[in-house]
Structure 1
């Protein structure tokens, strides 16, 4: 199960590179930047062994132990990001490739050579057309929640079954479903009265059940994602949705259509910031699309931050992911919840030092509860 989790619980990397190197080459500007981070995390687990994708249980939260320590990535992996931009005729054009890698493994001698080419796309557009993007990139649905999460540059839920060989989870599975990376053709509209629209045709994906056998497959219909956003003077508000048809992989398994939506708002006023996001629907999944099959579930995530000085930001965030009913795909899991308190200190314009404390609880439909307490100390450099 652990190897399957490592392949599914991928943290995204959508932060802009901090003062990356620009190289002029003819009509092109080539930008090279990246991210490196590492955190000392320690967790301890107690209570019942809840089934399914129970992030607070010993099996997932502590990697099968009562307690565990890892020095590895937080919610972001390490990454090398390159892009090339140019103005050609009436169009701004861009090509972008992002290559990512994990810090921690279970071996001191095995090669640590697995890489994740998570982003590879090109785009073109102008003020009247908007922007058209073709290639592989993060999805539209859920990006505001995870990009706005303070633990994006920290660890959040330091889930040991995913941090070794991959990353921590932030509030993935305990507040929002992972944004996902897809092959796609997407369009972002020009901004009109502070409103933009994003629409994408996305390559359809199979279910990723993790703790059960695969039950669904895709056929010819693409996944569709869309979002409307208002943004002005520190305030953002958005409505989003995505849908895809899943087909039963075996006789006796009914087809179903994933249909999920989200609504959220964020506000930044001086030193204070607030973010609230809600997701719900059929096939939403805990970590990824339909990973529990035809199950209705809900995610909600709230966060408050405050900059006490120019260098120090304090914050607290809480998220919960909850299934509406017990079904085959849930394996008895009712909910995951995580609360994280963090301090983020800007040592300079490149390095941020981080300290977090958190607790993750998983509850079963039969009343059992598993709990993971943990903390993370480390830092991240953006270059």
Structure 2
């Protein structure tokens, strides 16, 4: 089936009703805490109930770390060995979600989500500034502004700006979601790190989208989400359409994405599986190259007792490497070809029974088919990282966390380095 046919089919699906993503919300709930600590009672966030129909929920988190990054020498790329110290947040900025909810008599709920992200470093105000400056201020980003409609029998709907579908579970269940993981911008810390972005998965990003999620089926174990989104212009880091590191125009057609999710308990073991896809045209700056990108992934998580094992894999052709549409195409001789990427990670976490201590380890790697050899494309060396995690939970809201990461060189984002972090996360 051609991509254009698939897009037209999804447009008809969208006309039939409004929309929603799956149950993932970037604001903190107990599912995220359970990755590292066993929680006795579910935490529902701060809520203000106005009457039987209206309530308002507030939730969010603040994390802060002392980070030591030992940059390794790379003679070929002119990088010297240096050690950098910084006080910063991890991959997640501080977040605050404000969610008014109205419940109809039949059980249908309408939720508006307003998600804000706050950086800790004033060097993030203007990327052109070489360092943090006095009288600076941390930026604020509106990450989410969406409407969710959840019906008891007919599924759920989402429209607005929210986190996407492809790659969502990879970052959502990464043990570094509130940690540091792989680092970049060592000398002038920005308001995020990489965790495993570019080291096993592509960043899901915030997308203007319209989605429909089916009611649960197969014995209330499965859901299917289909949707369309406002497509991204490509960040032309390979110079396929002109100057390297330039942006192309936005594609004219919408992008499409979807996801299947399975979740079931087997006695004392929970199994969660998902697979998502994404597809859109590639902006070409008027070259009429008529290129399109497609990506598919698979994620599995098995939890038994205090042990949780997770695995992720993705393959993409013309979607990018670390970011969506970051370098989706490259010039090979007189032709422009899409860049193929693939990545994976394997992760294990263990929470000791009746103990606040949890351990975790994650190994991930990405490969990119972006080396021009003669008139052919070949895969470059993997960008990989190994992260070890230790956390101590005073309760489900306050967690002390330390990580040590060995990160390989990522050609675009970061050199080889060892990264140590120690800090805290407060969730509410």
TM-score bucket of the superposed structures, by smaller chain: 0.7 to 0.9
Structure 2 residue ranges without an equivalent (≥5): 1-24, 31-42, 123-130, 239-243, 330-338
Alignment partner of 2:397 out of 350, 353, 360:
350
Alignment of 1:182-193 (within 5 A): 182-193=207-218
Match of 1:98 among 109, 112, 115: 115
SS of 2:176's equivalent?
Answer: helix
Cα distance in 2 for partners of 1:243, 1:96 equals 26
Q: 2: distance between equivalents of 1:141 and 1:284?
A: 11
SS in 1 for 2:91: coil
User: CA separation in 2, counterparts of 1:326 and 1:215?
Assistant: 21
- Please give the alpha-carbon distance, in whole angstroms, between the structure 2 residues aligned to 1:218 and 1:162: 33
Matched residues in 1 for 2:245 and 2:178: separation? 34
Give the structure with the higher percent strand.
1
Matched with 1:177 is: 202
Aligned equivalent of 1:249: 285
Q: Structure 1, unaligned stretches of length 5 or more? A: 1-11, 52-56, 59-63
TM-score, normalised to structure 1, is 0.86
Q: Alignment partner for residue 319 of structure 1, among 357, 364, 367?
A: 364
CA distance in 2, matches of 1:188, 1:299: 27
Distance change (3 Å), C-alpha of 1:65 and 1:164: farther
1:155 pairs with 160, 180, 184, which one? 180
- With normalisation by structure 2, the TM-score equals 0.77
**Residues 99-129 of structure 1: CA deviation (Å, up to 9, x unaligned):** 1111123435233142110001011121221
Which residue number corresponds to residue 82 of structure 1? Answer: 98
Higher relative contact order (CA 8 A, sep 6+): 1
- The structure-2 alpha-carbon separation of the partners of 1:327 and 1:379, relative to structure 1 and needing over 3 Å to count, comes to farther
Q: Which among 256, 259, 262 is matched to residue 230 of structure 1?
A: 262
Displacement of 1:370: 4.9
Shift of 1:371: 2.0
> Quick one: distance in 2 between partners of 1:19 and 1:306?
24
1:155 Cα deviation after fit: 0.9
CA–CA distance in 1 between the matches of 2:75 and 2:226?
Answer: 41
Q: Secondary structure at the match of 1:160?
A: coil
Cα separation, 2, equivalents of 1:50 and 1:145? 32
Deviation track 1:273-312 (CA, whole Å, cap 9, x = no partner) reads 0110100121232221221122001011110111124311
User: Are the counterparts in 2 of residues 283 and 291 from structure 1 also a CA contact under 8 Å?
Assistant: no
Of the three residues 60, 64, 81, the one matched with 1:34 is 60
DSSP 3-state at the match of 2:283: strand
Closer/same/farther in 2, CA of residues 100 and 163 from structure 1, 3 Å limit = farther
Give the Cα–Cα distance (whole angstroms) in 2 for the partners of residues 32 and 263 of structure 1: 32
Aligned to 1:4: none
Distance in 1, matches of 2:404 and 2:363, equals 12
Indicate the residue corresponding to 2:340 in structure 1: 296
| Secondary structure of the corresponding residue to residue 112 of structure 1 | coil
Partner of 1:166: 191
Deviations 1:157-190 (A, max 9, x none): 1223598231111101101000111001111111
Report if the CA contact (8 A) 2:232-2:251 is conserved. no
| Cα 1:134/1:65, change in 2 over 3 Å | farther
Equivalences for 1:120-131 in 2 at 5 Å? 120-131=145-156
Alpha carbons of structure 1 residues 118 and 363: separation in structure 2 relative to 1, 3 Å:
closer
Whole-angstrom distance in 1 between the partners of 2:55 and 2:76: 52
Q: Distance in 2 between matches of 1:319 and 1:50?
A: 24
2:408 to 361, 372, 382: 361
Deviation per residue, 1:180-209 (Å, 9 max, x gap)? 110011111111121110112111110134
Residues of 2 paired with 1:177 and 1:307: CA distance? Answer: 28
CA shift for structure 1 position 356: 0.7
RMSD: 2.6
1:203–1:143 distance in 2 versus 1, CA, 3 Å: same
Instruction: State the partner residue of 2:84.
Output: 68
Contact 1:41-1:158 at 8 Å conserved across structures: no
Alpha-carbon offset, residue 313 of structure 1: 0.9
SS in 2 for 1:151: coil
